[in-house]
Amino acid sequence: MNDNMIAVYETVMRRAIDLSSNGPARGLNPQVGAIALDEAGTIIAEGWHMGSGTPHAEVDALSKLSADEIRGATMVVTLEPCNHTGRTGPCVDALINARVARVVYAVTDPGHASSGGAERLREAGIEVIGGVLADEVEAHQHDWLMSARLGRPQVAVKWGASLDGRVAAEDGTSQWITGEAARELVHRQRAAADAIIVGTGTVLADNPSLTARTAGGDLHETQPVPVVIGERPIPGDSLIYHHPHEPIIPGTRDIDAILGELHGRGLRSVFVEGGPTLASAFIEAGVVDRYYVYIAPTLLGGSRLAVTEVGVSSLAERVDLDFVRIEQLGPDLFIEAVPRKEA
């Protein structure tokens, strides 16, 4: 492949990334864009995946062409064409039957059942070029791809605390430890997540709405699905029942089972905001992918720590993290950290 064609495929791939954004950002399926080129490298059709049960991006693009136009064409697609039958047939079959000459894709399909499309295409005599602008597609589809690789939603745990690590004063009062700028960022983080998780204790004590709101008090355009973990009954007049999404109340306290249920519902990222007991349970389960910690320049003392037992009994068992962002927000400090990868 010469440099000119590489440049063409990269330009077209960026267009395919833009097209993919037309599809739903949340749900079981990824956002995918596809573009068909003729032998001269001219765009002759575009497509994208419009949601579960609808034609995949490649099939959408193919549907806009005649058999003669399709034959010998190049299909540029953001994700490796799928190789399994779900609510629709395998995209590789559609491409093989259409007799395209070449498929150019960015990221390999991470699904256990749906992967292997590139190999099938090569076996059918179709040229396959992978990895074109993979980094850009990885960034664009980060939540879906990581969730597919993990087999569960990505988990972010958040807490706000005093400088000495307390989330409330000894009498239980906690509003507000951190300031307005910190709260505004928290709400943007809520809006970016597919689900927000709290425990029944938080619902009973604080009666939160679990919505994502702007600084002016309006609802963000996207809202996380509220999830409440625990065994205590929740009053029918609780604010969560006025949330734009119906609350999910799993019938278990098993973290892995809960994440499996949410993954099956198409929720790819969760925001845990439920107090020390819940945060500690997720940490101990070893499923936290990201930590959002807000530190206020104040001292509270007492026993109400941000984190309790996390399965660490010795220094050798500690949970090491890497800071990826440290930012001053008004008087407060925001720290974003991720688990340290083993060398």
Length of the chain: 343
Give the active site residues. Answer: 58
Question: What is d(CA 78, CA 46) in angstroms, rounded to the nearest whole number?
Answer: 12
Q: What is the phi-psi region of residue 120: left when phi exceeds 0, alpha when psi lies from -120 to 50, beta otherwise? A: alpha
Q: Which two tokens stand for residue 65?
A: 């062409």
Residues 200, 335, 155, 303: what is their CA dihedral angle, to the nearest 10 degrees?
Answer: -30
Q: 124: which residues sit within 8 A by CB, 6+ positions away?
A: 92, 96
What are the CA-CA distances from residue 57 to residues 14, 131, 209, 286 (Å)?
15, 18, 37, 36
Q: Which two tokens stand for residue 195?
A: 């689900």
Q: Looking at this protein, which amino acid is placed at residue 176?
A: W
Place of tokens 């079959």: 93
Q: What is the phi-psi region of residue 10: left when phi exceeds 0, alpha when psi lies from -120 to 50, beta otherwise? A: alpha
CA-CA-CA-CA torsion sign (55, 118, 107, 14): negative
Question: What is d(CA 77, CA 71) in angstroms, rounded to the nearest whole number?
Answer: 17
Question: What is d(CA 102, CA 125) in angstroms, rounded to the nearest whole number?
Answer: 9
Question: What is d(CA 18, CA 201) in angstroms, rounded to the nearest whole number?
Answer: 43
CA-CA-CA-CA torsion sign (99, 134, 188, 257): positive
